């Protein structure tokens, strides 16, 4: 499968924030979000073709490079959209068999039965739609594919999960609340709201109004700590 990068970092979002993890970024996505911060795995997918055994070998090497005496024990499969990959089931099986905790980062448009400890689902709202000029033919495809509540419902019924929404404006809360009615409202503590942005200043500004809204609606605020720690850089 096409892999854009494999690297060691700390999980910057969600319930495992701070956990040293090997990130395996598959290249290729079925969406084209306007705010995508990994265009090299979506808009212009690049990378190296690697077999499952080569990926697993690289995961071991990367985990062993953890600066503490112990190797990293967590692997995050991310993208792009890793659920698009034909051999993703085999890759999950092999990584799990090697003893790693596996997190799958997905936009929740594709269901597959696979070995995974945490399904980290980030359904894309209307604020993800790309500008018409930039997107060309992708605008219609993006809009028709991004909203798959039946798939998200199946994922949360089948896996330990977290549900992450990217929030741009306070008005997005109405769309999230409506969305949750379509997927049979899950445990609200597992609904995480993240500020949209790739700069520390704009994230801090959004935080000012988003935290009170999370408190009001019993959602969990989800900072994007990797931006604070490393900036918006590849390999972090
Ligand atoms: S789903 Fe994720 S990787 Fe794909 S275009 Fe949207 S933000 Fe980028």
Range of the structural domain that residue 30 is part of:
2-165
**pLDDT score for 144:** 94
Provide the whole-model pTM.
0.94
**For the chain, how many structural domains are there in total?**
1
Does any domain span residue 131?
A: yes
100 within some domain: yes
The pLDDT of residue 137: 83
Domain presence at residue 141: yes
Domain assignment present for residue 157? The answer is yes
What pLDDT does residue 157 have?
A: 95
C-alpha 66 – ligand 1 centre gap (Å): 28
What CA–CA distance (Å, rounded) separates 106 from 103?
10
Instruction: Compute, in angstroms, the gap from residue 115 CA to the centroid of ligand 1.
Output: 22
As to burial, measured by CB atoms within 10 angstroms (0-12 exposed, 13-18 middle, 19+ buried), residue 224 is: buried
Measuring from atom 6 of ligand 1, which residue has the nearest CA? 33
Q: Report how far ligand 1's centroid is from the alpha carbon of 69 (Å).
A: 34
Does residue 78 fall inside a structural domain? yes
How much is the pLDDT for 197? Answer: 82
Give CA–CA dist 24/4, Å, rounded. 8
Give the residue, out of 4, 24, 25, 33, with the most ligand 1 atoms within 8 A of its beta carbon, to mutate for a pocket test: 33
pLDDT in tens, the chain (236 residues): 999 999 999 999 999 999 999 999 999 999 999 999 999 999 999 999 999 999 999 999 999 998 767 899 999 999 999 999 999 999 999 999 999 999 999 999 999 999 999 999 999 999 999 987 777 789 999 999 999 999 999 999 999 999 999 999 999 999 999 999 999 867 889 999 999 887 888 888 899 999 999 999 999 999 888 878 887 777 77
Q: What pLDDT score was predicted for residue 68?
A: 66
Helix (H) or strand (E) holding 154, with range, is helix 149-158
The residue whose CA is least distant from atom 2 of ligand 1 is 80
Mutate to test the pocket of ligand 1, among 79, 152, 232 (most ligand atoms within 8 A of CB): 79
Instruction: Answer whether residue 92 is part of any domain.
Output: yes
Q: Residue 200: its pLDDT value, please? A: 86
Q: Specify the residue with its C-alpha closest to ligand 1, atom 3.
A: 80
Residue 201 lies in a domain: no
Using CA atoms, how far residue 195 sits from 10, 97, 200, 214, in Å, is 19, 35, 11, 11
Pair 38, 3: CB distance under 8 Å: no
- CATH number where 75 lies: 3.20.20.70
In sequence order, the 6+-apart residues with CB closer than 8 A to the CB of 19 are 10, 11, 74
**Domain-located, residue 172:** no
Q: Burial letters for 200-222: b for 16+ Cβ neighbours within 10 Å, e otherwise?
A: eeebeebbeebeebbeeeebbbb
Please tell me what DSSP assigns to residue 40.
G
């Amino acid at each position: 499968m096409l892999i854009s990068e494999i690297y060691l970092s700390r999980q910057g979002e969600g319930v495992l924030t701070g956990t040293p993890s090997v990130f395996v970024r598959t290249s290729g996505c079925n969406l084209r979000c306007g705010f995508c911060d990994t265009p090299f795995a979506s808009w212009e997918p690049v990378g190296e073709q690697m077999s499952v055994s080569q990926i697993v070998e690289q995961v071991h090497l990367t985990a062993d490079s953890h600066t503490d005496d112990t190797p990293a024990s967590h692997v995050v499969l991310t993208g792009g959209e890793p659920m698009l990959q034909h051999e993703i089931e085999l890759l999950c099986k092999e990584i799990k068999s090697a003893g790693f905790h596996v997190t799958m980062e997905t936009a929740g448009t594709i269901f597959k039965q696979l070995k995974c400890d945490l399904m980290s689902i980030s359904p894309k709202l209307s604020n993800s739609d790309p500008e018409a000029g930039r997107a060309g033919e992708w605008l219609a495809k993006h809009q028709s594919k991004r909203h798959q509540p039946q798939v998200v419902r199946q994922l949360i019924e089948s896996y330990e999960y977290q549900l992450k929404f990217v929030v741009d404006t306070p008005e997005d809360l109405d769309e999230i609340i409506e969305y949750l009615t379509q997927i049979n409202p899950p445990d609200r503590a597992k609904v995480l709201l993240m500020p949209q942005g790739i700069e520390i200043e704009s994230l801090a500004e959004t935080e000012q109004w988003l935290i009170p809204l999370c408190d009001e609606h019993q959602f969990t605020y989800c900072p994007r700590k990797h931006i604070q720690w490393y900036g918006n850089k590849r390999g972090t």
